[in-house]
Amino acid sequence: MIIQGQEQKQDIGLVESGNMKLDEFVNKKIMDQMPYDVVEDLHFHMIDDDAFYRKYYLPVIDKIRSETNNDIIQGHLMPMVNKGLNHYCNKYDITPKPDKLMSEADKADLCSRIMEYEKNPPKDLDNAPA
């Protein structure tokens, strides 16, 4: 008496035999681009991470708050951005090295985003300065 219908399946060998091929790994395309906006994500990380914010972000913003010379502002912002990028890559274990993850143009864009954010913070934040 047969309780279940049995079909003859092709024998492809044991896993240890080396005769198996996983198409999911072999045919997978390598993505060179990150699947998100790195500049925006890094800016959020710099503001949201308490340790980085207290140690690097806030002191730099306090230094440049009354500064009008753009060269001095960039002189303070760029080292902070580089430290933030290293902190971001180490914390989230991001594979590309920090110097490969962002170009100099991306870093300049991040600096302008930081300045714009500090000049015009979102109104819905409870702790936004007036």
For residue range 90-108, what is the model confidence (pLDDT) as tens digits? Answer: 999 888 888 888 999 999 9
The reply to whether 91 falls in a domain is yes
The reply to whether 109 falls in a domain is yes
Nearest to 80 by CA among 103, 61, 105: 61
The reply to whether 81 falls in a domain is yes
* Total residue length of the chain: 130
The total number of structural domains that make up the chain: 1
The domain in which residue 102 lies consists of: 34-119
The reply to whether 70 falls in a domain is yes
The reply to whether 99 falls in a domain is yes
The reply to whether 100 falls in a domain is yes
Q: Angle 104-119/38-48 helices, nearest 10 degrees?
A: 50
Q: Contact 88/94 with Cβ under 8 angstroms?
A: yes
**Tens digits of residue pLDDT in 21-79:** 656 556 655 555 567 789 999 999 999 999 999 999 999 999 998 888 999 999 999 99
